[in-house]
A = this chain, B = another copy of it.
Amino acid sequence: MAYYIGVDIGGTNTACGVVNENCEIVARSKIKTNSSGNSLEYIDVLKVIKSAITAACEQAKIDVSDAESIGVGSPGVCNSESGIIENCSNIAFDNSPIRDDLEKEFGIPVYLDNDANAAAFGEFMSGAANGTKNAVIITLGTGVGAGIIIDGKIFRGSNYAGGEIGHTVIVVDGLPCGCGRRGCFEAYSSATGLIKMTLIAAEKHPESIINRLIEQDGRCSARTPYNAMKAGDPVGKAVTDNYVKYLACGITNVINTFQPEVLCIGGGVCNEGDILLKPLKEAVAKQIYSKNSRHNTEIVVCKLGNDAGIIGAAMLHKS
């Protein structure tokens, strides 16, 4: 059996898995990316990655050098050709030569890509986009992450910074976005965006069940407006309807642009299942430019959850 090591660097944890050729994780490790709480240097993150790799291989009872390759998914602009992380907004990477440094340490081939690309490649290799050649994977989380697969390969753009679909504006002069623009898809369709819209509606409507649910749970989550809606609350219904409206807008934009075979959506809010998916699919079907085409994009839910990042990273040698 051949083994491949996948590393998923996150702002909070760095996760590592030993993956077999069937894309199954046979052993894993997880280490806090920043245990000191001080500002992180590349050299510190490199140590964390090395420890995570060693720990996962110990658990799998293999030597690192027994594995075929290491794949790393990292936040930031990752030059997959040079193996250098050019820059990153939340970890202090600055032209960090992670591929060469890990190859020197472990003596096996190392592959690097952006974490959203790696997760998309995971869904492509063994998840919801498996068996296709063209797919877009969108994750509705803190932000809206996206990975694009064209002809079975990760699409990166000429400077490795492409695929930032979350930062395409759908509402000129709309809500402010972390990227500095206003009205980005991410500002409306991320879980964070949904929570913000829920809190605004709750304040406007003190009578809404939403307020009671927030008090019960001690916080507002992306689930809160859906739970309110399911309990018959008209404010919850309005919030979730509005969420679907913006989500359908952004997804239709992606379909009109890429016309992938499948568009996979992931993130906690997808746990709502058909309550989210049915109205979403209906809204998209009404709007797409390719209404008359014989083949239209299928909208499906991601299958691998957080494992997508590890599996995709481990399989980067095929990207």
Q: Which residues of A contact B (CB under 8 A)?
A: 77, 86-87, 132-134, 150, 155-165, 167-172, 174, 179-181, 245-246, 249, 252-253, 256-261, 286-287, 289-290, 292-297
Minimum CB–CB distance for A252 against chain B, Å? 7
Would you mind naming 10 contact pairs between A and B with Cβ atoms under 8 Å apart? A150-B150, A157-B258, A157-B259, A158-B260, A159-B293, A162-B257, A165-B257, A167-B256, A170-B171, A181-B287
- Contact check, B155 vs A150: say whether CB atoms are below 8 A apart: yes
B259 close to A180 (CB less than 8 A): no
Evaluate whether A295 and B259 lie within 8 angstroms (CB atoms) in the complex, with A170-B170, A252-B169 already known.
no
Partner of A179, one of B77, B179, B289: B289
B181 touches A158 (CB 8 A): no
Once A77-B293, A168-B253, A172-B170 are accepted as A-B contacts, the answer to whether A259 and B162 lie under 8 Å apart by CB is yes
A259 near B159 (CB under 8 angstroms)?
Answer: yes
Partner of A246, one of B156, B165, B172, B253: B172
Contact B290 A180 (CB under 8 A): no
Contact A167 B86 (CB under 8 A): no
Which B residues touch A292, using CB under 8 A?
Answer: 77, 86-87
Query: Which of B249, B258, B290 contacts A169 (CB under 8 A)?
Result: B249
Cβ-defined contact, B295 with A159, below 8 A: yes
Distance of A243 from chain B, by nearest CB (Å): 12
Enumerate the 9 nearest inter-chain pairs by beta-carbon distance, A residue then B residue, closest first: A157-B259, A162-B259, A168-B253, A161-B290, A159-B295, A164-B256, A134-B158, A164-B289, A158-B261
Structural contact, A289 and B158, CB atoms closer than 8 A: no
Contact of B245 with A158 in the complex, beta carbons under 8 Å: no
A181 to B174, CA, bound (A): 18
User: What CA separation (Å) do A252 and B161 show in the bound complex?
Assistant: 13
For the complex, what is the distance from the CA of A40 to the CA of B142, rounded to whole Å?
A: 52
If A158-B133, A287-B181, A294-B86 touch, does A171 touch B168 (CB 8 Å cutoff)?
A: no
Given contacts A168-B253, A170-B170, A256-B167, contact A159 B245 (CB under 8 A): no
Residues of B within 8 A of A159 (CB): 259, 290, 293-296
Residue of A87, A163, A290, A295 with highest tally of chain B CB at under 10 A: A290
Q: How far is the CA of A160 from the CA of B289 in the complex (A)?
A: 12
Chain B contacts of A260 at CB under 8 A? 157-158
B134 lies within 8 A of A157 (CB): yes
- Evaluate contact between B161 and A293: CB separation under 8 angstroms: yes
Chain B min CB distance to A126 (Å): 20
Contacts of A172 in B (CB 8 A): 170-171, 174, 245-246, 249
Which of these, B150, B289, B293, contacts A167 with CB under 8 Å? B289
Distance A79 CA – B308 CA, assembled complex (angstroms): 33
Chain B proximity of A244: nearest CB distance (Å): 12
Known: A77-B290, A172-B246. A158 touches B256 (CB 8 A): no
**Chain B residues with CB below 8 A from A259, complex form:** 156-162
